[in-house]
Structure 1
Amino acid sequence: MADPAKDQDYEIVTPPTDLRGKVRELTPREAKKFDPVKAAEAALQRISGHFSNWMETETESLLAAWDEIRQNGMNEAARDKLYQSAHNIKGQALTLGFPLVGDVAASFCHLIETVPSPDKLPLELTERYVEAIRAMVAEGAKDEANKTGVELLETLTAVTNAYLAQFPPPPVQD
């Protein structure tokens, strides 16, 4: 019988560093005192100074996707890129200290996910979402304490829900 592994091209990649050598095993006494939640919170606190920069980077990605649509028009690939950028913001916003921006991005994702095709995505409303996220990150509108940001979220969500009401929900498949 032929060996199928010999008939295929492949390469075995060996990691350059064995990470086991980088980790110190805790003594039983240290292990009793170690609180992984506290350690994680301390690590987050140490890097929290970078959170605004990371949100700005995610926002730049969203703006680039929107600029591409404005220049070249809406198509499936462009919509997917826009969605991915909004989805990244939605997923990271809470951790990075921008829960209100995450709520706006979640509403935007809902709009993109629900319209039946890229040509049904309303460009004016899309632009409002992109600009809202950009402005909120630039102004540091992080949570419900920012009343203007809350009103903006409520308005965008209401307009989105009104627009999406024209499309019947897809049939439920068993």
Structure 2
Amino acid sequence: MSDDSKEGEMARRLARAEAAVADLAKSYVTWASADVEKCAEHLAVARADTDGRASAVRDLYAVAHNIKGQGSSFGFPLMTRIGNSLCRLTRAKRPFGDGDLNIVQAHLDAMRLVLAQNIRGDGGPLGAKLSEKLEGMVVELLGPEPQPEADDLIR
């Protein structure tokens, strides 16, 4: 195969991949909304079953982790930022009180708002204020996120 043929084939493959991502992006709000509702179902279990709360929170974390990972890929970095905050809250291996679950609910409500209003990008000043409020709740509960030492960054 000549270099021109290889380049042409690569360009066609890239175009197909870009088209596939664009098709997925069209339905992002639908399936992200379904993921938020799965989180809400896990939250309802956590509220109802204090003995099974830790398991329900772990299940919620798994779905929230997907939301966090996908938002920016499809033009919704605000979903990624809120998802990151929710993941930090729910990945902690500790008892979860009712107040903690209220903070989870606030994150889910924010995600619903972003999706219902189709807020792409970072949400501007309002998105920043919303994210900072949610992140502040998590910091108040868990303390600041530990920063890596300079030596750790070099390794």
Scaled by the length of structure 1, the TM-score of the pair is 0.69
Q: Is 2:112 aligned against 1:134? A: yes
Which residues in structure 2 correspond to 1:33-44 (within 5 Å)? 33=8, 34-35=10-11, 36-44=13-21
CA distance in 1, matches of 2:124, 2:39: 22
Mark the CA change 1:105 to 1:47 in structure 2 (over 3 Å): closer, same or farther: closer
Mark the CA change 1:51 to 1:145 in structure 2 (over 3 Å): closer, same or farther: same
Deviates more, 1:63-72 or 1:75-84: 63-72
Selected match of 1:157 from 110, 114, 135: 135
8 Å Cα contact 1:93/1:102 also seen in 2:
yes
Q: Is 2:23 aligned against 1:46? A: yes
Residues 121-152 of structure 1, C-alpha deviation per residue, up to 9 Å, x if partnerless?
71221211121112222221222244322211
1:30 aligns to what?
5
Q: Is 2:80 aligned against 1:71? A: no
Scaled by the length of structure 2, the TM-score of the pair is 0.76
Q: Which runs of 5+ in 2 are unaligned?
A: 147-155
Q: Is 2:86 aligned against 1:111? A: no
8 Å Cα contact 1:100/1:142 also seen in 2:
yes
Q: How many residues align?
A: 140
- Does the residue aligned with 1:107 lie in a helix, a strand or coil? helix
Report which of the two has the higher share of helix: 2
Alignment RMSD = 2.4
Q: Which runs of 5+ in 1 are unaligned?
A: 1-26, 169-174
